[in-house]
C-alpha cells in the first residue's frame, strides 16, 4: 500500500502544477495558509492534553481528576504476508486493555493502544518505534518477530522506552537491554526439552538429525548452535542443514536433498503454513522422519493444510489450555473469536497476558513513565496469566512462559508432556 501512496502523492503533485499554473498557485497558497491556520487554532482549542492537570477555581468544587491515559504502542505487521499476526496481537491486547479499563485494574489509569505497521521489515519496525515514541509519546511498546525486535533494541535503548514482546523466543531478548522485557517461552530451552524428549521418550539412539530453517537471522543461528550443543549432550549427529527464503512455497528440491541424507529426526525452524506445505511435500517424496518444532504449530493451521501429513509432528506450545473454565480466559476466547473469526491460540493468549503485565507494572509503580513501567515490570517475579504461568529473572527482566510438549495425533493437537515450568528446565 505504501507504493500506492507514493504514486498517488506523485500524481497529485503533477496535477497541481498542471491545473493551477503559477497564477493559480499564487492565488491558492494564501487561501491554503488561511485554512491551515484556522484548522490549527481549532485543533489547539479542541485537542488539549487530557492528561494535563487543570487548575480549579478557588471556590469551585474540586473535580475528581480524570484517569491518566497510558498510551501503549505496538509495532506489528498490518500489511504484507505476515499481516495476520498483526490482527492477532492487536485484538489480544485491545481485549486486555478494554477489560483493564472497565474493571479498573490500575486505579487512576486507563490504557489506549496505538498501533504502527512494521510490515514484517526491520527498517520499517525501527521507524515505527521511533514514530510511536517521538510523535505519539508512548512510554512502552510491544513488538513481534525476532529479527524486528532485535533491530529495535538499540533504538529502544537510545530512546529510553520499554520494549516488551510476548512472542519473541530469542534466548537473550530480555537480557539485551534494561528496557527489554519478555513473557514468552525461550526457544533454546524448548529445544533442550524437545531433544531430551526425542532421546528419552521416542527411543531413538544416536539419531541422525537434520534442520530446515528460514532465512538466517540471529535467533535461527542461535538455535542451530544450540542443536550442536544438545547433540553433544544427548547423542546423535547433524547430517543436513537446509535454508529457505520465507517467500518460498515449493520445498520439493530442498526436501529431496534432505531425503538423500536419510535423517531420523528433522528440526523445523519454520513459520506459518510453510510448515504444513513442507510436511505435505515431504510426504509426497516419502520423507517421513520424526519432525519437531520449538514453537507452536497450532496458529499456523497445520492440520487444515497438511491433513494426514501432519501426523506425529512434535512441538513446544505455551501451557495454554482453552478447556480451563477460568471466566477471564473463556471471555477472552469468546470475544477474540467474535472479533477475528478464529479461535485464539497460546500465542494470542500470551499477548493478552503481555498487555495485562504492562497494566500490572503501571499499577505497581504508580506511574506511567518508561522508567516507572520498567521498574514495575522488574518487580513482577511471577505472573499467572490466561496463557499459562510466567517466571521472570529480576536481574534481567527476561521471562519464561510455562509450556508443554504437544503432538498431532489423529488430526488433533494433543498434549504429550504437560506443563513444563522453568524450574524443570533449570534442573
Partner 1 sequence: METLAQFLVNGFALGGVYALLSLGFGVIYNTVRIFHVLHGAVFITAGYITWVFVEHTGLPLYAAGIIGVAGATGAGMLIELGVYRPLRKKAAGFLTAFLASLAGMFFIEGFLVAVSSTDLKVLKQGPLSVFHLGDVVIAYFHIIIIVVVVLLFTAVTLFLRSTQWGRMIRAVASNPELALSVGINSNQVFLMVFALGSSLAGIAGIFRAYDVGLEPVVGLQLAIIASIGVIIGGIGSLPGAALGGLTLGLAQTLVAFLLSGQWSQPVAIIIMLAFIVFRPYGLLGTREHKELRRLL
Piece in contact with partner 1 (CB under 8 A), picked from 35-43, 47-55, 299-307, 363-371: 299-307
What long-range pairs does 218-223 form, CB within 8 A, spacing at least 24?
Answer: 218/146, 218/147, 218/150, 218/170, 219/146, 219/147, 219/150, 219/168, 219/169, 219/170, 219/171, 219/187, 220/269, 222/170, 222/171, 222/172, 222/187, 222/188, 223/187, 223/188, 223/191, 223/267, 223/269, 223/294
Closer Cβ to partner 1, 181 or 251, answer by number: 251
Instruction: Identify which of residues 215 and 322 has a Cβ nearer to partner 1 in the complex.
Output: 215
Q: Which of 136, 301, 335, 389 binds partner 1 (CB under 8 A)?
A: 301
If the CB atoms of residues 214 and 378 are measured against partner 1, the closer one turns out to be: 214
The nearer residue to partner 1, 3 or 107, going by C-beta atoms, is 3
- The footprint of partner 1 on this chain (CB under 8 A) covers a number of residues equal to 47
Chosen residue from 152, 166, 180, 280 binding partner 1 by CB under 8 A: 280
Q: Determine if 76 is a binding residue for partner 1 (CB under 8 A).
A: no
- Select 156 or 309, whichever has its Cβ closest to partner 1: 309
Q: Provide the grid cell at 46.
A: 479542541
Q: Is 262 in the site for partner 1 (CB under 8 A)?
A: no
Contact range with partner 1 by CB under 8 A, out of 2-10, 99-107, 396-404, 418-426: 2-10
Q: Which lies closer to partner 1 via its Cβ, residue 137 or residue 249?
A: 249
* Residue 13 interacting with partner 1 (CB under 8 A): no
CB of 242 to partner 1, least distance (A): 6
- 34-53 binders of partner 1 (CB under 8 A): none
- Integer Cα distance of 411 and 310 in angstroms: 8
**Contact window for partner 1 (CB under 8 A) among 18-26, 140-148, 242-250, 331-339:** 242-250
Task: Tell me how far, at minimum, the Cβ of 190 lies from partner 1, in Å.
Answer: 24
Q: Which is nearer to partner 1, 67 or 307 (CB)?
A: 307
Query: Alpha-carbon dihedral of residues 285, 289, 295, 297, nearest 10 degrees?
Result: 50
> Counting contacts by CB under 8 A, is residue 83 touching partner 1?
yes
Residue 343 engages partner 1 in binding (rule: CB under 8 A): no
- Options 286, 323, 325, 410; binder of partner 1; rule CB under 8 A: 286
User: Dihedrals φ, ψ of 273, to 5°?
Assistant: -75, -5
Grid cell 527489554 in the structure block, residue = 180
**Minimum gap (Å) between residue 10 Cβ and partner 1:** 8
Residue 304 touches partner 1, criterion: CB under 8 A: yes
Does 248 bind partner 1 (CB under 8 A)? Our answer is yes
Of 108, 307, 312, 322, the residue at the interface with partner 1 (CB under 8 A) is 307
- When binding is defined by CB under 8 A, the residue of 20, 239, 305, 419 that contacts partner 1 is 305
Site stretch for partner 1 (CB under 8 A), options 105-113, 164-172, 297-305, 355-363: 297-305
409 binds partner 1 (CB under 8 A): no
The residues facing 237 across adjacent strands are: 208
Smallest distance from partner 1 to CB 249, Å? 4
Is position 242 an interface residue for partner 1 (rule: CB under 8 A)? yes
Would you say 3 or 203 has its CB closer to partner 1?
3
In whole angstroms, the minimum distance from the beta carbon of 313 to partner 1 comes to: 13
Sole binder of partner 1 in the list 65, 104, 229, 253 (CB under 8 A): 253
In the complex, the residues that contact partner 1 under the rule CB under 8 A are 1-4, 7-8, 79-84, 87, 216, 242-245, 247-254, 256-257, 259-260, 272-273, 276-277, 280-281, 283-286, 301, 304-309
Amino acid at each position: 500500500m505504501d507504493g500506492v501512496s507514493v504514486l498517488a502523492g506523485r500524481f497529485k503533485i503533477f496535477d497541481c502544477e498542471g491545473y493551477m499554473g503559477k497564477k493559480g498557485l499564487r492565488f491558492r497558497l494564501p487561501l491554503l495558509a488561511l485554512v491551515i491556520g484556522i484548522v490549527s487554532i481549532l485543533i489547539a482549542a479542541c485537542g488539549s492534553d487530557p492528561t494535563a492537570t487543570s487548575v480549579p477555581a478557588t471556590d469551585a468544587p474540586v473535580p475528581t481528576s480524570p484517569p491518566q491515559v497510558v498510551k501503549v504502542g505496538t509495532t506489528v505487521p498490518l500489511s504484507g504476508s505476515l499481516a495476520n499476526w498483526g490482527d492477532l496481537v492487536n485484538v489480544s491486547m485491545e481485549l486486555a486493555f478494554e477489560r483493564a479499563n472497565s474493571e479498573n485494574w490500575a486505579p487512576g489509569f486507563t490504557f489506549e493502544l496505538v498501533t504502527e505497521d512494521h510490515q514484517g521489515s526491520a527498517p520499517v519496525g525501527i521507524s515505527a518505534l521511533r514514530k510511536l515514541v517521538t510523535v505519539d509519546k508512548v512510554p512502552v511498546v510491544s513488538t513481534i518477530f525476532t529479527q524486528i525486535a532485535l533491530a529495535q533494541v538499540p533504538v529502544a535503548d537510545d530512546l529510553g522506552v520499554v520494549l516488551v514482546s510476548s512472542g519473541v523466543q530469542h534466548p537473550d531478548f530480555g537480557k539485551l537491554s534494561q528496557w527489554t522485557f519478555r513473557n514468552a517461552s525461550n526457544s533454546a530451552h524448548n529445544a533442550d526439552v524437545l531433544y531430551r524428549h526425542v532421546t528419552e521418550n521416542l527411543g531413538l539412539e544416536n539419531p541422525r538429525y537434520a534442520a530446515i530453517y528460514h532465512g538466517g537471522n540471529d535467533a535461527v543461528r542461535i538455535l542451530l548452535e544450540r542443536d550442536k550443543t544438545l547433540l553433544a549432550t544427548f547423542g546423535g549427529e547433524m547430517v543436513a542443514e537446509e535454508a529457505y527464503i520465507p517467500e518460498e512455497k515449493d520445498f520439493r528440491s530442498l526436501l529431496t536433498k534432505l531425503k538423500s541424507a536419510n535423517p531420523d529426526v528433522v528440526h523445523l525452524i519454520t513459520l506459518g503454513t510453510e510448515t504444513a506445505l513442507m510436511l505435505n511435500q515431504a510426504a509426497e517424496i516419502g520423507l517421513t522422519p520424526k519432525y519437531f518444532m520449538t514453537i507452536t504449530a497450532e496458529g499456523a493451521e497445520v492440520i487444515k493444510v497438511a491433513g494426514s501429513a501432519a501426523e506425529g509432528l512434535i512441538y513446544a506450545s505455551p501451557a495454554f489450555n482453552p478447556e480451563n473454565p477460568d471466566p477471564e480466559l473463556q471471555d477472552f476466547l469468546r470475544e477474540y473469536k467474535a472479533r477475528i473469526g478464529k479461535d485464539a491460540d497460546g500465542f494470542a493468549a500470551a499477548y493478552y497476558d503481555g498487555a495485562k503485565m504492562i497494566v500490572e507494572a503501571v499499577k505497581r509503580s504508580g506511574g506511567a513513565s518508561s522508567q516507572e513501567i520498567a521498574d514495575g515490570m522488574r518487580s513482577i517475579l511471577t505472573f499467572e496469566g490466561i496463557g499459562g504461568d510466567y517466571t521472570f529473572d529480576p536481574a534481567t527482566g527476561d521471562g519464561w512462559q510455562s509450556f508443554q510438549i504437544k503432538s498431532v495425533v489423529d488430526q488433533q493437537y494433543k498434549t504429550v508432556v504437560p506443563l513444563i515450568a522453568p524450574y524443570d528446565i533449570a534442573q
